[in-house]
Structure 1
């Protein structure tokens, strides 16, 4: 298999082509990529087709509604991610002589109760290198697209060019309508939730129907794409959700009650970063993150 090219004097590839391709790769959907980029679906399709013509290889398999990368596309994704990250880094504003900020992404709850200790340690020990905490609603919290230097992620992550270290394991909780019958219980089980629809964040959540055993799964799912929409759906009585303890700590909601869910495996909390183009302060971030979470589950 011949690796796809990234640049050539005869090619007309622009940054917009690479961003479009990375959005499709991250979302596994032309529709969701178009929504993220605020473009029409035909525009995204045309941009992707133009990129494939210039690269000289098919990058995306469109044979199903759930698009996937071809082998050439997976190779090209690593190259495109590095190219976009290098461009963004070159344009990052900063004061002369001062290190550029280290951007730490997260999808919804960062490190939970350990977030503030991490930020305070960083400010005390590296005051000249700003640590920017950015909430980005996608599976890798902007890391795969080069929007951040590192990210706090949960669950299993499969993305080319990323390295992840497990910091600790986090207990799960059930999220139910505050005035519903399930909220009256001190704790819940998966079986308790099997009789109601389950609200699933398809972009960055850690819950899917396969969390339940076959034959004992909820009757329906309610798909959302952000944590805010997930909370709103549960508060409105459209279903129940499953998340982690840090969600209850960082996202209280008057219409949502959180209850322990002890019969479910805990969720790995990861600190992930790109194998290439690392920020020079990244090793220190890893050290501090390990230290502030030491002794966690």
Structure 2
């Protein structure tokens, strides 16, 4: 038995829906002879007649009646698959775990729309270590943690200063800025999966007393607003996640956060070089 192809099924559906070979040919934009050959190919592949043809009409055979429902589903699913690929090609999905590109997010989106009419730049939040990249949810990811997976390529696009996050009633909230030593003796909220804060940031004589594990930026902010912990994060979080009850203050002696874009090494997204240049210019 020869393989049944999508074109076979598409032609069968057209003949049934249009009521004949001539009408199906017009609908498909091919000749009537091509329709006849394709139906013959389908019947050869199935080893059975799918249509009864007379001088007056074309009707489904018993086998054709059993096949037509499956044929419609295959044709519809194939069309949906093509639409999905087409829509994906018209957009670049950028994943992020906490704060996209911070204060540069809107600037980058607007300039991209000017430079790439019809190709939308879509930011997608995903609280995974690769911001949705390894899960196939995005084409590019904004990462503020080092990447060791050799399936991905990365490019440094900028750096961001670190900020402390404290409750509005906290003693540090009255400062214009803070230092690493101001965290000594305190509990720090840390997202070990996607956050940028680790105990290695502090010198031994200024380390926090304890860490409090959280899952994502919302839980991080909730814990801090309640006064149960303080936090440290990149400037982007301070820009994109203002929260009543939480004050952000620059940490003047902390190492800045490196911001990278990452993508699949064997499948770089369209216009990647344009995106890299745009984001690098935004960070300046």
TM-score by structure 2 length? 0.68
Which has the larger share of helix? 2
Q: CA deviation at 1:194?
A: 1.3
Partner deviation per Cα, 1:164-210 (whole Å, 9 max, x = no partner): 11111111111111111121112111111112100001121000111
Distance 1:289 1:166 in 2: 10
SS at match of 1:229: helix
Q: Is this contact kept in 1: 2:142–2:261, CA < 8 A?
A: yes
Distance 1:95 1:119 in 2: 22
Tell me what 2:62 maps to: none
SS at match of 1:164: strand
Q: 1:142 aligns with which of 127, 132, 135?
A: 132
Q: What are the residue-to-residue correspondences of 1:98-137 with 2, within 5 Å?
A: 99-137=89-127
Distance 1:223 1:143 in 2: 24
SS at match of 2:277: helix
Q: What count of residue pairs does the alignment treat as equivalent?
A: 205
Tell me what 2:193 maps to: 203
Q: CA deviation at 1:95?
A: 8.3
SS at match of 1:254: coil
Distance 2:87 2:237 in 1: 38
Distance 2:169 2:235 in 1: 20
Query: Over aligned residues, Cα RMSD in angstroms?
Result: 2.0
Q: CA deviation at 1:255?
A: 1.1
Q: CA deviation at 1:130?
A: 1.9
Q: Is this contact kept in 2: 1:106–1:133, CA < 8 A?
A: yes
SS at match of 2:89: coil
5+ residue gaps, structure 2: 1-79
SS at match of 1:119: helix
Q: CA deviation at 1:133?
A: 0.8
The higher radius of gyration belongs to 2
Distance 2:81 2:194 in 1: 28
